Structure 1
Amino acid sequence: MRRTDPEGRGPVRYGPPPPEPGLPVLPEVAAAAAAAAGRSHGEPPGGGPVLLDAACGYWSRRGLPAERDHVVAAPGAPALLLALTAALGGDVLLPRPCPAWWAPQARLLGRAVYHVPTPAECGGVPDPYALLETVRRVRAEGGRPRLLVLSVADDPTATVPPPEVLHEAVEAAADEGLHVISDETWRDTLHRPRDTVLIGPAEMDHARVTVLSDLSGAFLPPALPAAVARFPATAAGSALRARTLDVLAALGAVPGGPAAAAAAYALGEPDEIGDRLTSAVRLHARVAAAAQRAVLAAGALARPPQAGRHLYADLGPLRPALAARGVADAQDLEDFLGDRLGMPAPGGHRFGDEIDALRVRLTTGPLLGSTPDERMASLAAPDPLELPHVERALSRFGSAFDDLRAEAQRMEPPR
């Protein structure tokens, strides 16, 4: 029987924060924001020309040419996704699991949300056959599926879908007349960029894909919220952009001046931004790989993290040991590991997984150090895993899982 949380910890107010950067703000980003703090005028709805031109340049360098009137900016990805969902209309399809902030936007608008299983090899995109089956079932029941949201570098699973899997999902969406929103927040944080092929849906279907990016993924701290979207260069894309701007204007969801200035600076990708991003990705990749090894050594499951600052672990194999400690579902696991690790450990139910599944997203930011000096030392170190403070943090992290493994072994029946 599924329990009711007596504290009412729902998916919005108590939803998990994005994976922590774990690093101090780049001085040049802080300076760009500070320089704009004295302006008396605000940004217009959808962002001003400087920010929009910077977003166009960012996408053009990635093989997605864009003009100013194909781009929109907002104070964070949730507001932008809310506006897009409102502008598109219809029911929403999401992969299972998916980022915790996707579903609340649709539900806030009274839209039905349908989760579609992901392929075995990755998260972020729906299995194409399951997608077709879900769309047809929803229509047979009187629903109106209109929108598919997916991710090419996934939170929470930290995986990147193979191009052929993504292509099949995009083709299935096109066959059913769905508009695709591609969340590419983490596309610039690939752990092995030379070995990982990342192709976005907009490169496969130019007419039906809107690309969204929350700049807190790679470029900005959460304290400077900014997100951008690129619309198809079609009449339908222009109409969707206009409706999205109407919603943003009605909400008063305009980028703050300091955040817009910092975003424009970061999207220009000067050397300082590129150098920090490269170093930060390398650091998080090393620590995430070490955290995955600790999870696997304890007998739990986790796909190799390929992007971002997190990994997604399945503690199902340790269920008997967890049950002995009062952990019966993902909410219990969230509470248990949060206390044991001393860091956020949101359960899989936050990301659309069933609450009975013992899955959890673990983030690497808290493992980089407890002070700005320690974190900067981690960033500069040739091998951060050899630093005493990182070694201690990973040891504490691993011991929480080792204890469960030892208890599970004690509970195994004698052979």
Structure 2
Amino acid sequence: MTAVVVAPPSPNLALNQLVDQRRAAGESLVHMAFGEARLPVLPQLAERLAQGATRSSYGPVAGAAGVRGAAAGYFARRRLSTAADSIVLAPGSKPLLMALQLVTPGDVLLPRPAWNTYAPQAAYAGKRAYGVPIPAQCGGVPEPAALRETIRTARAAGGDPRMLILTLPDNPTGTLAPPALIRELCALARAEDLLIVSDEIYRDIVHDLRATPFLSPAEVAPERTVVTSGLSKTLGLGGWRIGVARFPESDSGSRLRDAVISAASELWSTLAGPMQHVAEYAFAEPPEIVERIRASARLHGAVARAVHRIAVDVGAVCRPPTGGFYVYPDFEPLRDRLTGRGVTDSASLAGRLLDDSGLVVLAGHLLGDTPHALRFKVATSLLYGNEHQQEEALRTDSPTRLPHIAGELSRIAEGFSRLVA
């Protein structure tokens, strides 16, 4: 019998289900292990969904002309002049990333740590994934010299790295790579003939106004960069599954787009018609969409920075978050104290937080980080309360002072303090 690829379920989804089960059983947990933007649906989005309900036919695999044109306009407003024919829509960006893995030859280069889906997708596509360290100054992308050495070592051992995946801003560290570093990585990609996949699903959630300017690899190396994005993070539409990819406007880019469309025709057929109706409206960015994204970024930033301060106050090292809604604390300075409590790696660290304080986090080793390290990811977007409380948090300039968010932050502070006491 042919061997099959056996991998555990996605750890963030598995933890999300575990939290639901334990809460249903009466436990009080602070859930920070799932990267969902818990935001209420903007009423105009719900109206568009209802209006599109009669769009029940399949339509073009890449998406209808209207929605592709709207997505092209979205990218053009971000300094990426784009033709509608370079756009492919899908039920979420995750299928697009998987399709790219399936149709692109060779192995994959990933930041370490990285979003927990990239490496399993590579395994399902029969590829090897090579992790490259992301020092604090690199804003979540591989350090160029380390990337070059990883490529050399991989090829010497018979590997064939051809794809580099970047996340801008980064998941899990919540940081953004500086433009100079993006230019250096693009030059390296040209020299080594790498395809760049730039996952920019958090691009519109750069919330630190002092943060470095956003530079997409598609601006520097347009002939070899695919950009993926979607509406799950900026507009809280994760369950609606709306993703988009922008392909290079070159001969090789057209071939890659056509290969992904062919794969899509066998995997998901097309993005559901009602969701295309929503996406056409959202990517056109009318004023109410722009304002909702601005308010969301303000909320995400305020709460992420509050959690960052809590981690630093107890003695952890933590990169200041500038984009997205993640914080990635490192408790290495407290290792001696933690060892006495049986905490020696990321798994036991996450386990202790859950058992002692009801804090649910995603352990670093599940993101490809060194298992021995004392790091974990906190998704701060799950701290905003119920739908009414989320609306309240979006409207205020000081969301961390709201009682329901302040209460969650207090529990996190107490849990971190108990951990290192």
- Say yes or no: TM over 0.5: yes
Deviation at 1:260, TM superposition (A): 2.1
What is the distance in 1 between the residues matched to 2:269 and 2:109?
25
Q: Which amino acid aligns with 1:116?
A: V
Gaps of 5+ in 1: 1-6, 408-415
Change (3 A) 1:389 1:70: same
Look up the match of 1:140. 156
Look up the match of 1:292. 308
Whether the 8 Å CA contact 1:97–1:123 is kept in 2: the answer is: no
What is the distance in 2 between the residues matched to 1:69 and 1:404?
53
Look up the match of 1:214. 230
Deviation at 1:333, TM superposition (A): 2.5
Q: 1:389 aligns with which of 374, 394, 404?
A: 404
Q: Which amino acid aligns with 2:406?
A: E
Whether the 8 Å CA contact 2:172–2:328 is kept in 1: the answer is: yes
Residues 111-122 of structure 1 mapped to structure 2, 5 A cutoff:
111-122=127-138
What is the distance in 1 between the residues matched to 2:72 and 2:217?
17
Query: Greater shift after overlay, 268-277 or 255-264?
Result: 255-264
Look up the match of 1:153. 169
Look up the match of 1:249. 265
Q: Which amino acid aligns with 1:374?
A: Q
Look up the match of 2:392. 377
Change (3 A) 1:10 1:389: closer
Q: Which amino acid aligns with 1:67?
A: A
Look up the match of 2:419. 404
Change (3 A) 1:50 1:9: closer
Residues 13-412 of structure 1 mapped to structure 2, 5 A cutoff:
14=14, 18-193=34-209, 195-339=211-355, 342=358, 344-369=360-385, 371-405=386-420, 407=421
Whether the 8 Å CA contact 2:114–2:367 is kept in 1: the answer is: yes
What is the distance in 1 between the residues matched to 2:402 and 2:196?
44
Give the secondary-structure state (helix, strand or coil) at the position aligned to 1:172: helix
Change (3 A) 1:375 1:135: same
Whether the 8 Å CA contact 1:75–1:253 is kept in 2: the answer is: no
Whether the 8 Å CA contact 1:310–1:363 is kept in 2: the answer is: yes
What is the distance in 1 between the residues matched to 2:53 and 2:236?
16
Whether the 8 Å CA contact 2:234–2:296 is kept in 1: the answer is: no
What is the distance in 2 between the residues matched to 1:201 and 1:156?
19
Whether the 8 Å CA contact 2:107–2:129 is kept in 1: the answer is: yes
Superposed CA deviations along residues 188-236 of structure 1, whole A, max 9, x for unmatched, are 1011246431111011112111111132121341111111111111111
Whether the 8 Å CA contact 1:20–1:364 is kept in 2: the answer is: no
Percent identity over the alignment? 40
Query: Greater shift after overlay, 229-238 or 42-51?
Result: 42-51
Whether the 8 Å CA contact 2:330–2:374 is kept in 1: the answer is: yes
What is the distance in 1 between the residues matched to 2:119 and 2:139?
16
Deviation at 1:237, TM superposition (A): 0.6
Q: RCO greater where, 1 or 2, for CA within 8 Å and sep 6 or more?
A: 2
Change (3 A) 1:191 1:245: same
What is the distance in 1 between the residues matched to 2:403 and 2:212?
31
What is the distance in 2 between the residues matched to 1:330 and 1:258?
42
Deviation at 1:303, TM superposition (A): 0.4
Gaps of 5+ in 2: 1-6, 17-32
What is the distance in 2 between the residues matched to 1:313 and 1:61?
34
Q: Which amino acid aligns with 2:148?
A: L
Superposed CA deviations along residues 301-321 of structure 1, whole A, max 9, x for unmatched, are 110000011211112223344
Give the secondary-structure state (helix, strand or coil) at the position aligned to 2:163: strand
Deviation at 1:22, TM superposition (A): 2.4
Alpha-carbon RMSD: 2.1
- Count matched residues: 399
Deviation at 1:109, TM superposition (A): 0.9
Q: Which amino acid aligns with 2:304?
A: A
Whether the 8 Å CA contact 2:318–2:328 is kept in 1: the answer is: yes
What is the distance in 2 between the residues matched to 1:232 and 1:335?
44
Change (3 A) 1:338 1:268: farther
Query: Greater shift after overlay, 18-27 or 347-356?
Result: 18-27
What is the distance in 2 between the residues matched to 1:356 and 1:276?
40
Change (3 A) 1:10 1:151: closer
Change (3 A) 1:121 1:341: farther
Change (3 A) 1:155 1:373: same
Look up the match of 2:21. none
